[in-house]
Amino acid sequence: MTAAASARQILTRLHEVMASRLHAQGKLDQVVEIIGESLSSEVCSIYLLREGMLELFATRGLNPEAVHVTRMAVGEGLTGTIADNVETLNLAEAKAHPDFQYRPETGEEKFHSFAGVPIVYRERAVGVLCVQHVDPRRYEDVEIEALQTTAMVLSELIANADLVDEEEALGLDAAHSGPQTITGLTLVKGLATGIAAYHQPRVQITQVMAEDIEAERQRVYRAFDKMREQIDGLANQAEFGVGGEHEEVLETYKMFAYDEGWSRRINEAIDSGLTAEAAIERVQQHTRMRMREIDDPLLADRMHDLEDLANRLLRIVAGQIGTAAQQGLRQDTILIARNLGPAELLEYDRRRLKGVILEEGSLTAHVVIVARAMGVPVLGRANHGKGGLRSVVRDGDEILLDATAASAVVRPAAPVAEAFGRRFARSKEKQAAYAKLRDVEPFTRCGTRIQVMMNAGLRDDISALALTGADGVGLFRTEFQFLVSATLPQRERQLKLYRDVLDAAGDKPVVFRTVDIGGDKAVPYLASEIARNDENPAMGWRALRLALTREGLMKAQARSLLEAAAGRSLHVMFPMVSEVWEFDAAKQVFEEQLAFLRAKKKMVPEQVHYGAMLEVPALAEVLDLLLPRLSFISVGTNDLTQFLFAADRANPALAQRYDWLSVAIMRFMRRLVQATVGSNVEIGVCGEMGGRRLEALALLGIGFRRLSITPAAVGPIKELVRKVDLAEIEAAMTGWLSDPSVNLRDELSQWASDREIETD
Ligand code: PEP
Ligand code: MG
């Protein structure tokens, strides 16, 4: 008999038992007989969860007196280990395993080999099915598969017969029950609470046995086709908009998606009588077991990819294709994903999306830039060993997210939740206090008006202008529209956005930065050969360099901005200007479009103010040439500091290494301010640094009077400004900067605390 035929025979017998009128205990007794006999095993036992313990519910071969007597904790003995780790064990010699525990009442001393599989219900182990044999031999693959199939059938029985208490089941699987702390990297600061929701929800298998094998086979063929189509589509779209998957992952996806072995094993499982869903799941369980045995970190990564793909296949076959966004969020949610594209994030209901936890992600990932703009805290690089986040968080778990402290607590204990609640309330109170500063102008103690502007990039962000009372938008990142769009935004769409933004901003100025695309903010429809060959994208074919070679792109943007600002003032600035001629060339594109519009008798802006971002250190050396040509300069400290220190801003290993508050950076920036003295050029800072209080204090101390910062920081920075005496901080900074050995952060903190100025 073939393996599939014998597996089908087992399944048919199980099916008969399940369909019989026996009560649940009777069915379990029958199952252990069928499996023991089919696998020629002296022992077959079923342990199920009761009152938090694994209890022997049925056995063939062990002492019958032990039934409902033998109980063990999760994590105790081999059975407990299987439940605890939700993993399969296959041992030639049970006693040799470090977790082996002998239970005299069962009479199991004569048995050598042992194999066991978890019975999984709603992603939790709610029991264990195991077999034992007198001969010391490992069980064959087909035998393990028969056990896994039986465990699925049992899980269906459990679901229908209330054999385990669901509440109780929560208490079984340690990784899924008690509180767990997840750590990662702060990508967007903030606190949030909510219910965990996976971006791609997991499929619940409701039917294990196939009614029509041929139909199941067809379903799986179609699902494979569809999945391959999707993966090819993703690969063609490079890393844009669909899942943020990077190239390497896509390569692996492709390899698995077209792997003949995988589809063959699934087909064999269907031949044995399983539904397509159950077949995919069982093959996955088997692969999981194999990978665990190999225990290689590189393979563990690949396992992660395969899990993703198997989940995708399951979702296709089960017709559950929608993401959590498409299914709709019903309550306050902390979204969990391996990675996301910016467009996918924007699909979520902003009122209910409170936080995001990503297994990947970096500070400048598109999705993070968008989340920051949305004011949603993000914890990134959150991982939890081999199983990823799925091994510790389930859909619906309560989560306290403290992205500021780079951690999250899943299923918090009551005192932890209370303490978090108090902290959250305090932070909300602070926010409310800042909101009160909305209409208060940021004058320093000595009476100087500081310009506190905000950064934006999406149409909705402009509402923050009124909420925070910011003086205007000091940096509007126009590339956001390009990042969230699957195709190049046409001129009409750009025009509409810019016009809406200007209308919403009213009298307040908006500084539009022309597209800063390329590098890590690549969009596939603008990919070029040159960009693809960039070994160091941050220093590569990006921003103005790209725009000047894609003349059509720059022209369309110039025309849209000029038309949008018709009859009012337009502020436009160019990113990554490295040499003066680049500024001239960019300005010329605008001037030509202006001339064109005038010739067409179209209404044009009353004034156009040109500015440049200072992000490339070389530009600082030619300010004498540059200043007469423009009306403002905005220092992009995110890029500037990465170039000054030659330290990739996206590399977390370098994130803590160089301080923005270093004497080198401060001296450099002070020179920039001093160079503008006596010119009519305004200089400000629009990097993240200006939104942090200690850093903002230092910037005021070296002469900056204009900051453009993330909206959430407007209140705190206004409050700071009102407590500062400029002459005092300037004198202190001058003193500190004359001595390169000074630790500026310590000095500034002390200075601020002496004056009761909050800086954290
Ligand atoms: C900067 O580099 O500081 C900046 C504001 O631009 P971006 O972060 O968009 O590169
Ligand atoms: Mg920049």
- For 638-697, what is each residue's pLDDT tens digit? 899 999 999 877 666 676 688 899 999 999 999 999 999 999 999 999 998 999 999 999
- pLDDT tens-digit profile of 593-647? 999 999 999 999 999 999 999 999 999 999 999 999 999 999 999 899 999 999 8
| pLDDT for position 256 | 82
Given ligand 1 and candidates 476, 686, 699, which is best to mutate, with the most ligand atoms within 8 Å of its CB? Answer: 686
- C-alpha 396/C-alpha 664 separation (Å) is 48
* Ligand 1 atom having least distance to the Cα of 634: 5
- What H or E segment, with its residue span, contains residue 454? strand 451-456
Phi, psi of 330, deg, nearest 5: -100, -20
Band of pLDDT at residue 168, cut at 50, 70 and 90:
low
Task: Look up tokens 């690969």; give the residue.
Answer: 235
Task: Look up tokens 């750590």; give the residue.
Answer: 183
- pLDDT tens-digit profile of 118-154? 998 877 788 999 999 998 889 998 899 999 999 999 9
Is residue 434's pLDDT more than 50? yes
- Give the range among 35-44, 94-103, 299-308, 424-433 with minimum mean pLDDT: 299-308
Q: What is the whole-number distance in angstroms between the Cα of residue 456 and the centre of ligand 1?
A: 12
| pLDDT for position 528 | 64
Instruction: With 0.85 as the threshold, say if the pTM is over it.
Output: no
- C-alpha 392/C-alpha 400 separation (Å) is 14
Is residue 166's pLDDT more than 80? no
Closest CA to 362 of 380, 387, 382: 380
| pLDDT for position 165 | 61
The DSSP call for residue 56 is E
Ligand 1 in contact with 638 (CB < 6 A)?
yes
| pLDDT for position 241 | 37
| pLDDT for position 240 | 37
Ligand 1 in contact with 636 (CB < 6 A)?
yes
| pLDDT for position 170 | 45
**Mean residue pLDDT across the chain:** 87
| pLDDT for position 174 | 44
Which ligand has an atom closest to residue 475 CA? 1
Q: What percent of the chain has pLDDT over 90?
A: 56
Q: Is 78 helix (H, G, I), strand (E, B) or coil?
A: helix
How far lies 159's CA from each of 18, 26, 162, 165, 274, in Å? Answer: 12, 16, 6, 10, 18
Band of pLDDT at residue 366, cut at 50, 70 and 90:
low
| pLDDT for position 699 | 98
Sheet holding 378-380, edge to edge: 180-183, 407-410, 398-402, 191-198, 333-337, 353-358, 378-380, 185-188
Q: Under 8 Å CB-to-CB from 250, ≥6 apart: which residues?
A: 231, 234, 235, 239
Which ligand has an atom closest to residue 369 CA? 1
What is the amino acid identity at position 433? A
* CB-CB contact of 423 with 191 (8 Å): yes
Which ligand has an atom closest to residue 660 CA? 1
Phi, psi of 145, deg, nearest 5: -65, -40
- C-alpha 716/C-alpha 22 separation (Å) is 69
| pLDDT for position 532 | 63
Average pLDDT over residues 6-10: 86
Is residue 286's pLDDT more than 90? no
Ligand 1 in contact with 643 (CB < 6 A)?
no
Which ligand has an atom closest to residue 650 CA? 1
Which two three-digit tokens encode residue 336?
């969990």
Ligand 1 in contact with 691 (CB < 6 A)?
no
Q: What is the whole-number distance in angstroms between the Cα of residue 713 and the centre of ligand 1?
A: 16
Query: Based on C-alpha coordinates, what's the Rg of the chain?
Result: 31
Q: Enumerate the β-bridge partners of residue 91.
A: 114
Is residue 244's pLDDT more than 60? no
* CB-CB contact of 177 with 370 (8 Å): no
Q: Is 613 helix (H, G, I), strand (E, B) or coil?
A: strand
Q: Which residue is closest in CA terms to ligand 1's atom 6? A: 636
Identify the residue with better confidence: 306 or 409: 409
How far lies 45's CA from each of 34, 67, 81, 150, 364, in Å? Answer: 11, 9, 15, 12, 53
- C-alpha 738/C-alpha 747 separation (Å) is 13
- pLDDT tens-digit profile of 710-724? 888 899 999 999 999
| pLDDT for position 463 | 85
Given ligand 1 and candidates 473, 613, 644, which is best to mutate, with the most ligand atoms within 8 Å of its CB? Answer: 613
- C-alpha 220/C-alpha 207 separation (Å) is 15
- What H or E segment, with its residue span, contains residue 713? helix 711-721
Q: Cα angle vertex 304, ends 303, 307, to 5°?
A: 85
Which two three-digit tokens encode residue 716?
């705190």
Q: What's the distance, Cα to Cα, between the start and end of the chain in Å?
A: 72
* CB-CB contact of 694 with 356 (8 Å): no
- C-alpha 550/C-alpha 544 separation (Å) is 10
- pLDDT tens-digit profile of 519-558? 666 676 776 655 666 777 788 888 899 899 888 999 999 9
Q: What is the whole-number distance in angstroms between the Cα of residue 474 and the centre of ligand 1?
A: 12
| pLDDT for position 242 | 38
Band of pLDDT at residue 580, cut at 50, 70 and 90:
very high
| pLDDT for position 299 | 67
Ligand 1 in contact with 649 (CB < 6 A)?
no
Q: Which residue is closest in CA terms to ligand 1's atom 1? A: 636
Is residue 225's pLDDT more than 50? yes
Given ligand 1 and candidates 639, 668, 695, which is best to mutate, with the most ligand atoms within 8 Å of its CB? Answer: 639
